[in-house]
Amino acid sequence: MVAGAEGARAARAVGGPIERDDPRALLAVFAAITTWAYSSIVIKAIATPPLVTAFWRVWSVIPLLWLWRGLLGKRQRPLGRHWLRGSVTGGLLFASHQIFFFHAVRWTSVANVTLVGALQPALVLLVSRSLFGERVSGKQIMWSMVAVAGSVLVVVAGTGQTRLDLLGDLFAIGNLFAFTGYFLVSKQARRWVEPFDYVVGMTTVSGLVMAAVCLVRGDDVLSPRGVQWLLLLSLGILPGTVGHLATSWAHAHARAMTISVVMLAGPVLSSLAAWAVLGERIVPLQGVGATVVLISIALALGQATPNRARELAEAAAETDAP
């Protein structure tokens, strides 16, 4: 009975709200968006069709993920209904995000897609308290919105494109909701599922969806040639596995809003990577926007740390002592 009670308390603790963000989780998210910045460079450099690239981003590592899990053997927890539910919902949403994203890029500017994507923290803010019981201060909200504005400035100044295309922008809005849904489902799944198991399941489901889409469209998934295969494998290993494994681990150690705000540094890193690797020009206004983003993220994270006096007062209020 004692062991059962302890297990029940542990289960509730895993699913309870996160009151303090672990700095290691923020570093993990930063590492993840660094791999995603690498992804943007490779996608620009590679000549394979977008959906074929998305197909191999997952299928290049699915066999390796299952092989590694098999080698771990008894050290891995059994896969149960929580894993299946999280894998199916997360995989479907991630595949939808990929499909919406690549079609949005095709029908409108990358700037518009990125601008719409920068609204993610606003959506997370609307549901983080009801879904996860997370508290966000007014100052954190303010600096988060300033970071969103800075991210918008980085994108617009870098491309100079503000033309709207209705169909493409609708796909961009679909991408925003699909990725935000994937983000929230991933955080919920981490209450019960280990990060590696979740990435294995989510990647497999999204791979099956992408295979079905490519089959229906008639895409030639064997079209890559030569070094393209190595680049596709690197996409699967770095942003596709390492990046999502890092964020999956972070979900259990930091609040949803905090992780979402850190992700706003993504456009800044992508712009720097494009400048360093592809020689793309960075205009002064982009530098201003990048500075605003990074300072605002730092200030938002500073506001995310609970006040020690408030913590003690709340803890005393929750006790039964007279």
How confident is the model over 89-113, as pLDDT tens digits? Answer: 999 999 999 888 877 777 766 666 7
Cα dist from 280 to 52, 105, 231, 276, 288, whole Å: 25, 18, 20, 8, 17
Q: Residue ranges per domain, the chain?
A: 21-304
pLDDT at position 149 is: 80
pLDDT at position 158 is: 61
Structure tokens at 231: 């680049």
pTM of the model: 0.77
* 149, 152, 157, 159 alpha-carbon torsion, rounded to 10°: 180
Closest CA to 234 of 29, 51, 31, 42: 42
Alpha helices in 133-165 (DSSP H): 138-159
Listed as ranges, residues in the chain with pLDDT below 70 are 1-17, 73-76, 108-112, 115, 155-166, 278, 280, 303-322
pLDDT at position 159 is: 59
pLDDT at position 95 is: 95
3-state SS, residue 46: coil
Closest CA to 97 of 232, 192, 239: 239
Biggest alpha carbon–alpha carbon distance for the chain: 74
Which H/E stretch holds residue 43? Answer: helix 23-45
User: Using an 8 Å Cβ cutoff, are 121 and 181 in contact?
Assistant: no
